[in-house]
Structure 1
Amino acid sequence: MELLDKDLVSVQEVRNLIKKAKEAQRVLAQMSQSQIDKIVKAIADAGFENAEKLARMANEETGFGKWQDKIVKNTFASKIVYNAIKDMKTVGILEDDEVNKIIEVAVPVGVVAGLIPSTNPTSTAIYKAMISIKSANAIVFSPHPNAKNCILETVKIISEAAKAAGCPDGAIACMTVPTMEGTDVLMKHNDIALILATGGSAMVKAAYSSGTPAIGVGPGNGPAFIERSANIPLAVKRILDSKTFDNGTICASEQSVVVEECIKEEVIKELKKQGAYFLTDEEAKKLEKFIMRANGTMNPQIVGKSVEAIANLASLSIPEGTRALVAAETRVGNTVPYSREKLAPILAFYTEKDWESACEKCIEILNNEGAGHTLIIHSENEKIIREFALRKPVSRMLINTPGALGGIGATTNLMPALTLGCGAIGGSSTSDNIGPFNLLNIRRVAYGVREVEELTGNEKPVSSIETFGSKTDKEELIDELVKRILQQLKN
């Protein structure tokens, strides 16, 4: 019996997939916009038609979330993303500015490495395949090992649909033997042009450290501020709808609720009315031991789990019908579990004396974890909303909407996406919701519109330096040009 080293098999597979993907991408790069769009539509249709099947597979394999909500995610990743990108021009000349004499040409980056998480496995694969093909790029996926089967099935379904629509074989591919070594080779390979990294902080950091250009996502830890002018019942509904959607696995979902002291009791009453259970101090101490691991990372035992499963884990007795667990908190820090990202139906509850103090608390929470990601505010006071907008260290500030679905562009008009950039403050290369244009380079063809004399103020027009008779004249002109340019730069 022949024994094979799993890491070696993974590495060789990656090399084979990249080689084939590079050949396929060359074909994609020669296709017309209509040919590309036909393939993208086929991917969207296949994702939509198999939304329930893939949702059930993801839920069964990972144990995360709710399969019913994963259907919504798959539908979002296929139909809603498709509708947002279908009319985008991503091939050939994008713009011909006759006034400014600049032509912009779309240039695909090449082969993309797509890292897929276990929290949103099938939806993220559909979405990344579509935006990659839309920009005439090939993509090779590295699936999370705990979601390998459902990701492989997703890639099989959408790649077959794409090929039937004219996509070259190998343009959408996936590792079948995912290992850390194989993924490392994928990210560092010379023929990988860009990494789309969605997953844990360690994997995202590895992507940025690979030497290959990368678009990664930092942790979400979005606080939701309820300001006194808000419609409190509606604000609470939105927060609970968001936090319980797929058991909190979307990183833009709310992690904390921050309220003003004057409305504290009203908000607590409404949270309880709508299914939130406020933990006692003793219960909160029991549960916090299960939120983070000893190394400071989120405990996978709570990720995407129901409130019942989490309560059983911590030996808590909770009322039937509880939708979310809430713990009163005042502290913020790496060793304060409730102030951290919790991809589960668990919320921290902070009370501040006024909106200015609440604003500072939100900044403190974000700067501890989640800077650059998302913040939610429920308010009818436009002045306060704008004050928050000017000061918060986030890329997405969502107003009067559920965080999870607002952040990804489902309940807002943000670019529909399942990879949310966190900007420089969050360690990301962009603050965008990632779409096809993030996977394109733009070649700019620029016509000359002024001569050197217009830059230097030289009133004597010349067609070229050769019009000056002697070598001395030429040297003097060059010296004068240099002096004038240096002076302009200083000014």
Structure 2
Amino acid sequence: MDKDLLSIQEVRDLLKEAKKAQSIYSTFTQEQIDAIVKEMSIEATKHEVELAKMANQETGFGKWEDKVLKNRLAAQGVYDYIKDMKTTGIINEDKNAKIIEIGVPMGIIAALIPSTNPTSTVIYKVMISLKAGNAVVISPHPNAKECIIRTAEILIEAAERMGAPKGLIGVIKTPTLQATNELMKHKDTSLILATGGEAMVKAAYSSGTPAIGVGPGNGPAFIERSADVKLAVKRILDSKTFDNGVICASEQSIVTESIIRNDVIAELKKQGAYFLNREESDKVGSILMRANGTMSPKIVGKTAVYIAEMAGVSVPSDTRVLISEEREVSHANPYSREKLCPVLGFYTEENWETACERCIEILQNEGVGHTMTIHSENDNVIREFALKKPVSRLLVNTAAALGGVGATTNLAPAFTLGCGAVGGSSTSDNISPLNLMNIRRAAYGTKELCDLRNSGGSSCECQSGAEAELEQIVKKVLNELLS
């Protein structure tokens, strides 16, 4: 039979099962839900190395050792952050305002999984979906199908062991574009949680189904003159080489001030960065993007040495990052765009004000709304950047790849980072269970129409006789005292 038709039917079957399962799951108590989420966290942690190696072998992206840390962040870091959240039943009661808030699951979450962070994203999305009371159907990236399916199976077994109904977690085992479209547009899909390429995210928002999507990152890192240059460089290189740069929050360029330019360059070289000359920059730049202007998958998650060799450039064997000094920011300049590998653009500006403008220019070129980093000890400059930068996360004195996902900051641990309206996203949050649930509010009346009409005036006709009489007595006494 036709593979596309089979995949579409598979999606319909998964959604049918998920709908039944979620109907049962919606009756579970907070304690039952929390027990399921905890068991998934424990089980995923047991398999963190296996899944990391599997993802690395199947996709060829990054380093399995770093993928272990990402799996651990998804399994343990996310769990620690969400475990005490109230997500079902009465989650808040304001007795003064007379409002009761009730957590209501959305239904079925369509979880679109990228090839860059496949296993960690599955763990994360399944855990936050179930914590919010939802069912979830996973749509794997075809290039990471096996490791995604394996991760899902581990989570399914753990959830069902603790009483989750069968079908609550589903995974498409024949991933096709048609299957993903069917999942996104199906009437039983409540929300799309999309992490991946720009085209896929746009498709999610165009599907007619509510969606939370993430656009490309292209965050600059500004090293301001008051920064600890050695530490700033260490953080940037640690970040850009972590899993060979596949996290979209990682730095894509460095911007610094002319007064410390030489110090920054010297420290970058000392810590393993290689500055390309113009001819070498052109060679490397020519393989970063495809003819259609999109990032080449051949360079994603590869080492700096591998990329240099691919471009025909000879670099030392211990090179960690390739850097190209640039003056122009444009869509045609690959060094001023997102590069999910250890390659950076480098810009020098006269002062922090012009550096601020340069960072905005880079973000507006690509990655607006996502993330950027500043390394500085000047609180006034940091605050100015926070006020002016069109990003959802301004990371201060930290490694962007790890700070953006909440590993080295106190942001919500997440592998879906909202870019806000300016970035074409429906939220600027690091996505958590709170983004995957609705809140029903029971609001008690506290006023009558006559109260609104006669505020501060005569007694309301809706009052009981005793209340009205008492009010008149109080007013009479007050008038006598004032006279």
Tell me the TM-score normalised to structure 1 length. Answer: 0.93
CA distance in 1: counterparts of 2:152 and 2:386, whole angstroms:
39
**Residue 193 in 1 paired to residue 190 in 2?**
yes
Q: Contact 2:363/2:390 (CA < 8 Å) preserved in 1?
A: yes
CA distance in 2: counterparts of 1:57 and 1:334, whole angstroms:
35
**Residue 422 in 1 paired to residue 419 in 2?**
yes
| SS of aligned partner of 1:140 | strand
Matching residue of 2:174: 177
**Residue 370 in 1 paired to residue 334 in 2?**
no
CA distance in 1: counterparts of 2:214 and 2:160, whole angstroms:
30
Name the aligned partner's letter for residue 90 of structure 1. Answer: T
| SS of aligned partner of 1:166 | coil
Matching residue of 2:281: 284
Matching residue of 2:106: 109
CA distance in 1: counterparts of 2:453 and 2:368, whole angstroms:
46
Where do residues 349-364 of structure 1 align in structure 2 (5 Å cutoff)? 349-364=346-361
Matching residue of 2:480: none
- Structure 1 window deviating more from structure 2 (178-187 vs 304-313): it is 304-313
CA shift digits 1:431-457 (9 cap, x unpaired):
000000000100011001111123223
Aligned length: 463
CA shift digits 1:296-336 (9 cap, x unpaired):
11000000011122111101100121000000011111101
Q: Contact 2:451/2:460 (CA < 8 Å) preserved in 1?
A: no
| SS of aligned partner of 1:396 | strand
Matching residue of 1:392: 389
Matching residue of 1:431: 428
- Residue 192 of structure 1: how far off its partner (Å): 0.4
CA distance in 2: counterparts of 1:408 and 1:50, whole angstroms:
21
**Residue 453 in 1 paired to residue 450 in 2?**
yes
Name the aligned partner's letter for residue 255 of structure 1. Answer: Q
Name the aligned partner's letter for residue 266 of structure 2. Answer: K
Matching residue of 1:28: 25
- Give the one of 68, 71, 82 matched to 1:71: 68
CA shift digits 1:175-198 (9 cap, x unpaired):
001111111010001000000000
Q: Contact 2:450/2:461 (CA < 8 Å) preserved in 1?
A: no
CA shift digits 1:90-130 (9 cap, x unpaired):
11001110000000000000000000000000000000000
Matching residue of 1:8: 5
- Residue 429 of structure 1: how far off its partner (Å): 0.3
Name the aligned partner's letter for residue 64 of structure 1. Answer: F
| SS of aligned partner of 1:96 | strand
**Residue 343 in 1 paired to residue 340 in 2?**
yes
**Residue 306 in 1 paired to residue 327 in 2?**
no
Stretches of structure 2 lacking an aligned partner (at least 5 in a row):
463-483
Matching residue of 1:409: 406
Matching residue of 2:128: 131
CA distance in 2: counterparts of 1:456 and 1:339, whole angstroms:
60
Name the aligned partner's letter for residue 19 of structure 2. Answer: K
- Give the one of 220, 224, 227 matched to 2:221: 224
CA distance in 1: counterparts of 2:317 and 2:198, whole angstroms:
35
CA distance in 1: counterparts of 2:322 and 2:451, whole angstroms:
68
Name the aligned partner's letter for residue 214 of structure 1. Answer: A
| SS of aligned partner of 2:287 | coil
Matching residue of 1:475: none
| SS of aligned partner of 1:419 | coil
CA distance in 2: counterparts of 1:178 and 1:6, whole angstroms:
9
CA distance in 2: counterparts of 1:254 and 1:337, whole angstroms:
14
Name the aligned partner's letter for residue 159 of structure 1. Answer: I
- Residue 27 of structure 1: how far off its partner (Å): 1.3
**Residue 264 in 1 paired to residue 261 in 2?**
yes
Name the aligned partner's letter for residue 426 of structure 1. Answer: G
CA distance in 2: counterparts of 1:308 and 1:322, whole angstroms:
6
CA shift digits 1:13-54 (9 cap, x unpaired):
000000000111111110011100010011111111100000
CA distance in 2: counterparts of 1:119 and 1:283, whole angstroms:
27
CA distance in 1: counterparts of 2:270 and 2:454, whole angstroms:
74
CA distance in 1: counterparts of 2:458 and 2:200, whole angstroms:
61
Name the aligned partner's letter for residue 443 of structure 1. Answer: R
- Residue 461 of structure 1: how far off its partner (Å): 4.5
CA shift digits 1:232-254 (9 cap, x unpaired):
00000000000000000000000
CA distance in 2: counterparts of 1:18 and 1:226, whole angstroms:
49
**Residue 81 in 1 paired to residue 78 in 2?**
yes
Matching residue of 2:119: 122
CA distance in 1: counterparts of 2:94 and 2:122, whole angstroms:
36
- Give the one of 219, 230, 233 matched to 1:233: 230
CA distance in 1: counterparts of 2:437 and 2:306, whole angstroms:
44
What RMSD, in angstroms, separates the aligned Cα atoms of the two structures? 1.2
- Structure 1 window deviating more from structure 2 (446-455 vs 202-211): it is 446-455
Matching residue of 1:485: none
- Give the one of 201, 205, 208 matched to 2:205: 208
Matching residue of 1:470: none
CA distance in 1: counterparts of 2:325 and 2:32, whole angstroms:
55
Matching residue of 1:471: none
- Residue 460 of structure 1: how far off its partner (Å): 4.9
| SS of aligned partner of 1:158 | helix
Matching residue of 1:97: 94
- Give the one of 304, 314, 318 matched to 1:317: 314
CA distance in 2: counterparts of 1:452 and 1:29, whole angstroms:
38
Tell me the TM-score normalised to structure 2 length. Answer: 0.95
CA distance in 2: counterparts of 1:348 and 1:361, whole angstroms:
12
- Residue 463 of structure 1: how far off its partner (Å): 4.6
CA distance in 1: counterparts of 2:319 and 2:438, whole angstroms:
49
**Residue 62 in 1 paired to residue 62 in 2?**
no
**Residue 163 in 1 paired to residue 157 in 2?**
no
Matching residue of 2:473: none
Matching residue of 1:45: 42
Matching residue of 1:334: 331
- Residue 372 of structure 1: how far off its partner (Å): 0.5
CA distance in 2: counterparts of 1:182 and 1:320, whole angstroms:
44
Name the aligned partner's letter for residue 440 of structure 1. Answer: M
Q: Contact 2:398/2:408 (CA < 8 Å) preserved in 1?
A: yes
